[in-house]
Amino acid sequence: MAPVIIKRIYKKDYKGFRLPINYTTQTYYDVTVSKKPDGFDVTFKLKTFDKPVTHTQEEYNFPDSLFQAHWKGAYAYGAFDKDKLVGAIELYSETWANRLRVTELWIDEEHRKQGLGKRLMDIAKAQTVKRNARMLILETQSCNTNAVGFYLHEGFTLAGFSTCDYSNTDLERKEVRLEMGWFNDKFNN
Q: Which amino acid is at 125?
A: K
Confidence of residue 188 (pLDDT cuts 50, 70, 90): confident
CA 125, CA 142: separation in Å to the nearest integer? 23
Q: What is the pLDDT of residue 61?
A: 66
Mean pLDDT, range 6-13, rounded to an integer? 98
Q: What CATH class has 5-183?
A: alpha beta
Long-range contacts of the stretch 55-58 (C-beta < 8 A, 24+): 55/22, 55/23, 55/24, 55/25, 55/141, 55/143, 55/144, 55/175, 56/22, 57/18, 57/20, 57/21, 57/22
Q: Inform me whether the pLDDT recorded for 8 exceeds 70.
A: yes
Mean pLDDT, range 27-34, rounded to an integer? 97
| For the chain, percent of residues with pLDDT exceeding 70 | 97
Parallel, antiparallel or unpaired: strands 99-107 and 84-94: antiparallel
SS3 sequence, 114-167?
CCHHHHHHHHHHHHHHHCCCCEEEEEEECCCHHHHHHHHHCCCEEEEEECCCCC
Mean pLDDT, range 132-150, rounded to an integer? 97
Condensed to tens digits (0 to 9), the pLDDT of residues 41-94 reads 999 999 999 999 998 877 766 778 999 999 999 999 999 999 999 999 999 999
Mean pLDDT, range 173-186, rounded to an integer? 96
Q: What is the pLDDT of residue 120?
A: 98
CA 117, CA 52: separation in Å to the nearest integer? 23
Report how far apart, in Å, the C-alpha atoms of 148 and of each of 2, 11, 39, 71, 72 are: 30, 28, 27, 23, 27
Confidence of residue 182 (pLDDT cuts 50, 70, 90): very high
Q: What is the pLDDT of residue 108?
A: 94
Q: What is the pLDDT of residue 45?
A: 97
The backbone torsions φ and ψ at residue 83, rounded to the nearest 5 degrees and listed phi first, read -100, 5
H or E element, residue 14: helix 11-14
Mean pLDDT, range 134-145, rounded to an integer? 97
Condensed to tens digits (0 to 9), the pLDDT of residues 70-80 reads 999 999 999 99
Contact of 88 with 105, CB cutoff 8 Å: yes
Confidence of residue 1 (pLDDT cuts 50, 70, 90): low
Confidence of residue 136 (pLDDT cuts 50, 70, 90): very high
Name the residue ranges covered by the structural domains of the chain: 5-183
- Size (the chain), residues: 189
